[in-house]
Chains A and B, each alone.
Chain A
Amino acid sequence: MSGVALDPKTSPTFPMAAKTALGDTQMRKNVRHATDVIQAKRARVVAEMPDWQQLREAGKQIRQHTMEHLDFYLEQFEENCTRAGGVVHWARDAQEARRIVTGLVKASGSEEVIKIKSMTTEEIHLNDVLETAGIHAYETDLAELIIQLGEDQPSHIVVPALHKNRQQIREIFQRKMNLPGLGETPQDLADAARVFLREKFLRVKTGVSGANFLIAETGGVCIVESEGNGRMCLTLPETLITIAGIDKVVPRFQDLEVLLQLLPRSATGERMNPYNSIWTGVKQGDGPQTFHVVLMDNARTEILADKEGRQTLNCIRCGACQNACPVYRQTGGQAYGSVYAGPIGAILTPQLQELHHAQSLPFASSLCGACYEVCPVKINIPEVLIHLRAKVVNQNTAGIAGLFDFEAAAMTAMAMIFKSERRFRAAQRLGRMAEIPLVRKDRQGVGWIRWLPGMLGGWTQARDLQEMPKETFRDWWEKRGKNGN
Chain B
Amino acid sequence: MTAATSSNPARAEILRRIRLAKGGTSDTAVSEAAWNLVAREYRRTAVLEPEAVLELLEDRLRDYDAHVVRVGRGDVADAVARMLTARGKHRIVVPTGIASEWLPAGFEFVVDQGMAAAELDKFDGVLTGSTVAIAETGTVVLQNVPGQGRRAVTLVPDYHLCVVNMVNVVETVSHAMDRLRGTAELPTTFFSGPSATADIEMTRIKGVHGPRHLDVILVL
Contacts and interface: CB of A to CB of B under 8 A. Distances in A.
A275 B207 CA distance: 12
A253 interface: yes
Contacts of A273: 192
A287 B151 contact: yes
Interface stretch (A3-11, A69-77, A347-355): A69-77
A274 B35 contact: no
A253 B42 contact: no
Interface in A168-216: 169, 186-187, 189-190, 193-194, 197-198, 201-202, 215
Given A62-B38, A88-B5, A201 B201 contact: no
Question: Which 7 A-B pairs give the minimum distances between C-beta atoms?
Answer: A228-B210, A305-B21, A228-B209, A228-B195, A286-B150, A301-B17, A272-B137
Contacts of A50: 43
Given A34-B201, A253-B181, 13 more contacts: A33-B201, A61-B39, A72-B28, A159-B199, A159-B202, A228-B195, A235-B151, A253-B184, A261-B42, A271-B192, A272-B190, A276-B190, A301-B18
B210 A231 contact: yes
Nearest to A189: B200
A69 B192 contact: no
B8 interface: yes
A78 B8 CA distance: 13
B105 interface: no
Interface string B169-213: 000011011101100111111111111111111110101111100
Contacts of A110: none
A96 B25 CA distance: 25
Contacts of A69: 26, 30-31, 34
Interface in B91-149: 114, 117-118, 121, 134, 136-139, 144
Interface of B: 1-2, 5, 8, 10-11, 13-15, 17-22, 25-28, 30-31, 34-35, 37-43, 60, 114, 117-118, 121, 134, 136-139, 144, 150-152, 155-156, 173-174, 176-178, 180-181, 184-203, 205, 207-211
B189 A90 contact: no
B209 A194 contact: yes
Contact of A285 (B114, B136, B194, B203): B114
A161 interface: yes
Nearest to B151: A235
A201 B200 contact: no
A82 B4 CA distance: 12
Contacts of B194: 274
A90 B8 contact: yes
B205 A190 contact: yes
A143 B197 CA distance: 9
A27 interface: no
Given A162-B202, A236-B152, A257-B174, A297 B17 contact: yes
A280 B185 contact: yes
Interface stretch (A51-59, A331-339, A448-456): A51-59
A84 interface: yes
A252 interface: yes
Contact of A78 (B5, B21, B28): B5
Interface in A230-252: 231-232, 234-236, 246, 251-252
A190 B207 CA distance: 8
User: Which of A38, A165, A276 has the largest count of B CB atoms less than 10 A from its CB?
Assistant: A276
Contacts of A65: 34-35, 37-38
Given A270-B192, A275-B190, A287-B187, A166 B15 contact: no
Nearest to A187: B205
A92 interface: yes
B198 A54 contact: no
Interface in A128-176: 140-143, 146, 159, 161-162, 165-166, 169
B42 A193 contact: no
Contacts of B117: 201-202, 236
Contacts of A428: none
A51 B43 contact: yes
A274 B121 CA distance: 21
A91 B8 CA distance: 10
B21 to A, nearest CB: 4
B208 A193 contact: yes
Contacts of B60: 271
A37 interface: yes
A314 interface: no
B210 A71 contact: no
A220 B181 CA distance: 12
